[in-house]
Structure formats: structure tokens, C-alpha cells
Amino acid sequence: MGRRWRLPAGPRPKLVSLRTTFAVSFAAVTAAVTILVGILSYNSAARLVRVDQQSVFTQVVQDVQDEVRQHPMGPDDFSSSRPGHDLVRPARTDVQVLGAQGQIMDHGSPVLPVTSRDRAMALAWTAGSVVEHKDVRVDADLFRIATVSLGQGRGAVQVAQEFSDTEDLLRALQQRTLIVMSAVVVAAGLFGWWLARRITRRLVILTSAAEDVARTRQLGIQVPVAGLDEVGRLGRAFDRMLGRLAQSEEDQRRLVQDAGHELRTPLTSLRTNISLLRRIDELPPATREELVADLSQEARELTDLVNELVDLAAGQSDNEPPQRVDLADLAEDVVGLARRRTGRDVVLHAAGDTTTDGRPGMLQRAISNLVENAAKFDRDGKAPIEVSVTGPARPGTVRVEVLDRGPGIAEGDLVRIFDRFYRAADARSLPGSGLGLSIVREIAMAHGGAPFAFRREGGGAVIGFTVGGGYVPGGGTGT
């Protein structure tokens, strides 16, 4: 045997809870949306403010141009001490008047710088000519300045607009936007954590229940179920699954106990007869023949019992695929085989639509068990065994009945004949395991139906089952 090599174990990955993942994801999405909206809002607001300020400045300059073009005007006409020209001094707008040589005749507040280009405008012959300066720093403030010529060398008017205050306002707006976005992100993270905790609380409970089942192997743990959403559905499904598993475990335990009890009797008889084989030479020939016959019978019954136990424990095997099947055709095959085996007269009555969805092998086994049961209890009967297949009793259902003229079934036994290993008092001397009708019940319930039994008028019994709704995996209760 070769030596096995094991790779060195690496560090175990750190588990991240669903709650943390949900909270972080919620906060990340909220942060991304908040930042995007904040940036777009700030840019839009800043653009609107700057465009508005530019529009105001452009309009003031245009008004001055129109005025000097329409009326010959000199520097004195724009003096701050002369009334009638306040319209060129709106908020955060400064006006400074230059003389013919470019000298300052009426200084602004603050005093604006005068360049060679501004002096050229003062000497210009055409009224309304303009030269603009952007981002001019005066003291600690920024201005945009436009110099408008008065024409015919009479001087010029400087119009300045301060926009450093606007930029300060926008910077303050930017800071406040960042503060608000940070607050929103933090609040989103806290709300996401609270929401994730609320949503995953039931998942944590379900996880704890699953871990308890894995640790204790106790399937009877109560699973708290609440809510109508997907988590609630998961809880109810988990609870039903544990119930089915607990029922299956109980069924297996009962099957083992019942099988052990049923196997004990034939094994004891076999052991007794085998012990007699040690003295077979001392036995008379008739006793020898009887002993061998008993051994053969007991071995056959033990084989039948083991086979039925295997079939029952395996759930009649799910290897056969469900398909559309005609129960009348299956019953006809069973009837033909029963005639050859028993030599009895077995008749079939079929009426209506007897097709259904199911597993042919399982359904044929159920019909065969019913016919064998009738032949066993009506061994010396002269009347024929009747098999009736009718459908549909209601939409999608088919009814199968086997009628005999045997001793019938006692009232107290009608509700128990489908239990595993149950055998009526008057049937315990007959061969059989007590599993045949139990298998019929399992097959019927797996196909959406149920078994039934009642006493027949004139003597005998009617035992059968219904099927309908198609094959349901695990449809039998197993009880």
C-alpha cells in the first residue's frame, strides 16, 4: 500500500459573516451614490453661480458700451459724484474712470491697476472699444476687469467684478457638501448594519439550529419559523425536512426492531431443526422427510421475508423512471401469472380510463401482492378471484380492487392489516411475512393514493388501493 502524502495545511480563510457583507455592501453602494450625486450637484451649482456672475459682468460692460456709443460722454459723466450713473455699480462691481492720458480721474474702491492696454483704450478714437483682463489680483482679491473706450481720445471707463468671494462661497459649499456626504455614508453604514442584523437574525437562528443538529444528532430540535418571505420559507422547509428525517429515523428503528422480531422465530426454528440433523441417522425415514421438508419451507419463508424487507427498506427502488402506464394492462399480466401459479380462476374487470403516471414495476408489485394475498386466504375457494380496475373515480385517479370469497377480515383487523408485520390471529398459521400489504400501502401513497380494505357482502374481503396525481418521490409515510 503506497504512502499517502498530505499537503501542509495553509492558513484557514477568515469567515466573513453575511451581516458584515450586507452592511459593507449597503454602505459602499450608498457611499458611491452619495459621492456621485454630491459631485454632480456641486459641479452644477458652481457652474450656475459662475455663469450667473459672468452674465452680470458681461451685461454691465455691454450697458457701458451702448451708452458711450449712443451719447458722446467724457470722464466727468462717469464720476461717482455725478448722479444718474449708479446703474453701472451693481453689487461686487467696481468702476474706475481714466482721463485722456490714461490717468485715474475717479479711482475705484479698491484702486484698479492701469496697464498700457488700458491707456491705449483711453486714447482710442472709437467709442465702445473694450479690452478685458482676467484673474487680476488687487490686494488679496481677484477681479476680472474690462476697460471701455469713451472715444475720440476722451478717456476710458474700467469696470471690475470681484469673483474671489464667489470662489470662497463655492469652497464653503464644497466643504459642506463633503461633510454632508460623510455624514450620509456613516449613517448609511449604521443603517445598513441595523438592517443586515434585522434581516439575518432569522438566518443566524436557522444556522444555530443546523449546527445543533450536526453537533447533537438530535433531529427533534424545534426550528423557530416566522415571516412570509424567503427566510420564512427556508425556516419552514428546514423544519419540515427535520420532521421528515426524524420520521425516517424512527421508521428505520421500528423496521429494524420489527425485522429482528420476525426473523427471530424462523431462525430459532431453523436452529432447532439443524440441531436434529446431527441425529438424522437415528430418525425414522418419515421423520427425516418431514425434517427436510420443514427446513426447505423455513428457508423459503426466510428468503421471502428477507427479500420483502430489502424491498421495503429500499423504498421499492427509485431506479425505474416514472412513465405513463395503463393499470389494466399491468393487472392483466398479474392475472395471467396468478392463474399459472395457483391454478385458480382469476378474472379481470376493467372500465374507464385506467392510465396514470407512475413506476410500472412498483404498481405491478402492488397488484401482485393483493392477488397473492387473496389466493393465500381463499386457498380452497371455488369462486374466482376478481380483479377490478376502474377509472377515473375522480379526475386523475384510478382504483384497483381484488375481491375474494375467503374467510373475510375481522372488524378489529381492518385498520391494521396494512401495518408492517401485522398478521391477524387466524392468519398466523399461514405462510407469509406480514409485509405484502404494507408494501401495497407504500406504493399507493408514493403514487398519490391510499390503500383500503372492507368486508365483502356475502363473505370474503375487498382489498385495494387508489393512485392519482403521478409518482411522488418519498410520498410514502413509511409508518
Lowest mean pLDDT among 3-17, 53-67, 157-171, 302-316: 3-17
Confidence class of residue 400 from pLDDT cuts 50, 70 and 90? Answer: very high
Tell me whether residue 322 is exposed, middle or buried, using C-beta atoms within 10 angstroms of its C-beta: 0 to 12, 13 to 18, 19 or more: middle
CA distance 168 to 149: 32
User: CA–CA separation, 291 vs 241, rounded Å?
Assistant: 51
Phi, psi at 230, each rounded to 5°: -65, -35
Collapse the DSSP code of 314 into the 3-class scheme (helix H, G, I; strand E, B; otherwise coil) and give the result: coil
* pLDDT band per the 50, 70, 90 thresholds, residue 401: very high
d(CA 217, CA 387): 47
Read off the C-alpha cell for 126: 472709437
pLDDT at 108 over 60: yes
427 confidence band (pLDDT: 50, 70, 90): very low
Q: Residue 282 and residue 294: Cα distance in Å, rounded?
A: 18
User: pTM (2 decimals)?
Assistant: 0.46
Concatenate the DSSP letters of all residues of 376-423 into one string: HHTTT--SPEEEEEEE-SSTTEEEEEEEE-SS---GGGTTTTTSTT--
Is the distance from CB of 143 to CB of 162 less than 8 angstroms? Answer: yes
Give the residue-averaged pLDDT of 166-185: 78
Max avg pLDDT among 102-116, 265-279, 425-439:
102-116
User: What was the pLDDT predicted at 331?
Assistant: 93
Beta bridge partners of 260: none
Quote the DSSP letter at residue 12: P
Q: Out of 76-80, 335-339, 432-436, pick the least confident.
A: 432-436
Give the distance, in angstroms, between the CA of residue 63 and the centroid of all CA atoms in the same chain.
Answer: 70
Beta bridge partners of 96: 158
Q: Which of 52-56, 66-70, 162-166, 276-280 has the lowest mean pLDDT?
A: 162-166
Task: Give the pLDDT score at 87.
Answer: 44
pLDDT at 192 over 60: yes
DSSP 226: -
Q: Which pLDDT tens digit goes with each residue over 249-287?
A: 777 777 676 666 566 666 777 787 778 777 777 778 888
Q: Which DSSP category does 474 fall into?
A: T
Q: Distance (Å, rounded) from C-alpha 76 to C-alpha 70? A: 17
**Of the candidates 474, 479, 472, the residue with the CA atom closest to the CA atom of residue 241:** 474
User: Which pLDDT band, with edges at 50, 70 and 90, does 327 fall under?
Assistant: very high
* Whole-number pLDDT of residue 312: 60
Is residue 457 helix, strand or coil?
Answer: coil
What is the bridge-based pairing of β-strands 385-391 and 346-352? parallel
Cell numbers describing residue 138: 488687487
Higher pLDDT, 186 or 463: 463
Mean pLDDT of the chain: 76
Question: What's the confidence (pLDDT) of residue 2?
Answer: 44
